[in-house]
Structures are given as C-alpha cells and as structure tokens.
C-alpha cells in the first residue's frame, strides 16, 4: 500500500511555493523537475495494481492526485425499502471499516445519488480533503478486490480458486462479521432480474479500475450459504417435534423458498433442508393434495448462528404420527434453555 508520508519523508517537505522556497520545498521542486517523483509514484502504483496514468497536479500549493470512488448501482423491478437500503449501505461502511482496520482517516462518504437506477457514489474521507492520501485511492480498489473475494467465498466455489484470489490480491480469509455484513448488502437485490454492480472508478475521468455484479438469484444463494458459513457449529437435535409448512417453493433448485415452523423451538418460520430425498417426498407428496395442511412429527436439527436458530434440517419424519392442523396451539419454549 502506497504511503504518502513516506514520499514526504524522502522529499522533506509538504508544499511548493514559487516566491519562497524552504530547503524541503527545493527538494520537491528538483524532484518534480527531473520527474523522479512522478516515476516513483507510477512504479509504486503499478506494483499495487493501479493504472499508472494518474494525474499529479499543483493545486492550492499542494500535490494532488485523481481519486478513485466506489460506485454502487442497484437495478430493481420494484422500489426498495428505505430500511433495506440503509442497512445495505451501513453494511458496506462496516465492511470498509473492517478492511481498513477501523482507520479513522479511511471513511466512506456519499458524494452523489443519481437518478434512474439507484446509483450511489462513495468517496473516501481523503478525497474531499486538501491533500488526499495516495493510499486511500489504492484502498478503494483493494476494497473492491475484497468484496469480490467475499462474493466468491459466499458462492462456495472451489477452495483452490479462493486461494488463488487471496494470493493474487493479498487478502485474508473473510471473517464471520464480514460475511454477515455482506448478507445485508446482498439484500439490496431480491428478484432474479434485479442486479447490483460494485465498481471502483476514477472520479475525474470515470475510468473503471475494477467491477463486479450479481443478480437477485445469486444474492439469495449467497445469503443462504452465509447462514451455513457463519454457523457456530453447535448441534441442537430435537426428537418428535411438531412441524408445519409456512412456505414452499420446490421449483427453485436451491430450495430457498422452503420455510417451516416449529413453535416449540422458534416462534418464526425458518429455512428447511432434508437429510434425504425420501423424507422430502414424505412431507411434500403424501396425504393426497393436502400435505401442506398437516402437522408432521419430526426429528430435527436446529442449526444455529450466534446461538440463534436459522435453519431446520429434518432428520426423520414419523409419518404415522402426522395429523391435520385443527387450530392446535403449542406453548413456545425458550430455545437457549433447551
């Protein structure tokens, strides 16, 4: 990562003024005149993966360079809920803070929100200061690389490919908090036709340094994978629990639409997976066409994250103990005390 302070340490000065030159100012003037500083910057930026065609200009008596901005573009068929948009942007800020190790000088600011699609330009704190840090421009691009790694990680691609990305961009394995924040970002798109694009662009020219995008279908898949990836690994197995369907969508290959309710464990419906295809068949095709109107007696594993149930894995279905739903009321139990 390029450090501006190191450049000034070598040069020994901060400003260049025509009328009055300090010893350090004369050093900078000499370096600029001989293009040595320009070459040093280009080499370092090129090594860091940046386009070496950056612009150094003399403005307000200080060196300044073109900054990169983070552009979030959301294309949706339907309007987005304000709370979802706020949560998504807040999660992007959390991801950036985590990436920069909570550096107070490395904050993202909203520069502009454009019409049409939801297009949000985010800039670093340094981009609006008199002397932007070269490291901040590099941060935006490396941050995009980091988001790309998280996205591929959430897709659960081949581990060898993950290692290749980590090696290429010199990035660590995403932690659980980053994955959970990414899940809220993915909530910005829902339907299959919705798309979200994240890119690093030059503020002045609009040149794209790095870009990535995904649609609503991919976002749902990644969110479901995040649940599994961030599970605390605890096993909570309950035998002969009363289960009923709240929502089913078996046309989806990823089964993201299947949700069931076990009120003795959790008061809200959770995602459902099956230990075998035979169990799935019993609970989705039996009882003629009224299978969704029955209570099922199941052995279930409640898979958790942060000690909260997030998914049911049906281990066994006691088919002979199934019976129609007749307004039965079950007293909820405290999950943590189970």
Q: Where are the domains of the chain?
A: 4-56, 68-229, 237-337
Angle at 83 between CA 82 and CA 88, to 5 degrees: 100
Instruction: Of 3-7, 54-58, 282-286, give the range with the top mean pLDDT.
Output: 282-286
Residues in the chain: 338
Cβ neighbours around 99 below 10 Å, total: 20
* C-beta separation of 236 from 207 below 8 A: no
Look at residue 22 in the predicted model and tell me its pLDDT.
Answer: 58
pTM given for the model: 0.54
User: How sure is the predictor about 48, in pLDDT bands with cuts at 50, 70 and 90?
Assistant: very low
pLDDT tens digits for range 128-170: 544 444 455 578 899 999 999 999 999 988 888 898 999 998 8
* C-beta separation of 17 from 27 below 8 A: no
pLDDT tens digits for range 73-88: 999 988 888 888 999 9
As a whole number of angstroms, the longest Cα–Cα distance in the chain is 95
221 against 39, higher pLDDT: 221
- pLDDT(3) > 70: no
User: How sure is the predictor about 289, in pLDDT bands with cuts at 50, 70 and 90?
Assistant: low
Residue 89 token pair: 């942007």
Share of the chain above pLDDT 70, in %: 68
Average pLDDT over residues 209-233: 87
Of 35-39, 85-89, 294-298, least confident by mean pLDDT is: 35-39
Q: What is the DSSP letter of 287?
A: S
In this structure, are strands 118-124 and 108-114 parallel, antiparallel, or unpaired? antiparallel
Look at residue 12 in the predicted model and tell me its pLDDT.
Answer: 41
Q: In the chain, at which residue ranges do the beta strands (DSSP E only) sit? A: 56-59, 62-65, 68-75, 108-114, 118-124, 195-202, 208-215, 237-247, 259-261, 270-274, 294-305, 308-324
In DSSP notation, 212-230 reads: EEEEHHHHHHHHHHHHHHT
User: How sure is the predictor about 61, in pLDDT bands with cuts at 50, 70 and 90?
Assistant: very low
Nearest CA to 223 among 270, 182, 195?
182
Look at residue 128 in the predicted model and tell me its pLDDT.
Answer: 53
pLDDT tens digits for range 92-129: 999 999 888 877 777 888 988 887 788 998 888 655 54
266-300 as b/e, with b when 16 or more CB fall inside 10 Å?
beebbbbebeeeebbebbeeebeeebeebbbbbbb
């Amino acid at each position: 990562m390029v450090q501006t302070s190191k450049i000034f340490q070598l040069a020994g000065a901060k400003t260049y003024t025509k009328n009055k030159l300090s010893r350090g100012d004369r050093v900078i003037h000499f370096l600029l005149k001989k293009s040595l500083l320009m070459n040093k910057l280009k080499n370092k930026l090129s090594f860091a993966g940046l386009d070496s065609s950056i612009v150094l200009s003399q403005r307000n008596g200080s060196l300044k360079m073109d900054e990169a901005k983070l552009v979030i573009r959301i294309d949706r068929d339907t309007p987005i809920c304000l709370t979802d948009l706020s949560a998504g942007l807040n999660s992007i800020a959390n991801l950036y803070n985590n990436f920069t190790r909570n550096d107070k000088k490395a904050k993202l600011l909203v520069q502009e929100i454009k019409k049409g699609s939801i297009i949000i330009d985010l800039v670093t704190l340094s981009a609006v200061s008199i002397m932007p840090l070269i490291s901040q421009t590099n941060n935006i691009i490396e941050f995009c690389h980091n988001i790309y790694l998280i996205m591929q990680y959430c897709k659960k691609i081949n581990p060898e490919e993950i290692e290749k990305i980590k090696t290429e961009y010199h990035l660590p394995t995403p932690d659980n908090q980053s994955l959970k924040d990414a899940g809220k970002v993915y909530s910005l798109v829902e339907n299959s036709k919705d798309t979200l694009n994240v890119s690093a662009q030059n503020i002045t020219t609009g040149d794209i340094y790095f870009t990535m995008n995904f649609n609503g279908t991919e976002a749902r898949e990644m969110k479901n994978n995040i649940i599994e990836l961030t599970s605390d690994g605890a096993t909570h197995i309950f035998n002969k629990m009363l289960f009923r369907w709240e929502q089913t969508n078996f046309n989806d290959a990823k089964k993201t639409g299947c949700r069931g309710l076990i009120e003795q464990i959790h008061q809200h419906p959770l995602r459902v997976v099956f230990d075998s295809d035979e169990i799935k068949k019993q609970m989705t095709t039996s009882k003629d066409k009224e299978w969704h109107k029955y209570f099922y007696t199941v052995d279930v594993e409640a898979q958790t994250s942060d000690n909260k149930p997030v998914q049911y894995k049906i281990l066994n279905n006691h088919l002979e103990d199934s019976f129609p739903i007749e307004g039965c009321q079950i007293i909820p139990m405290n999950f943590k005390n189970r």
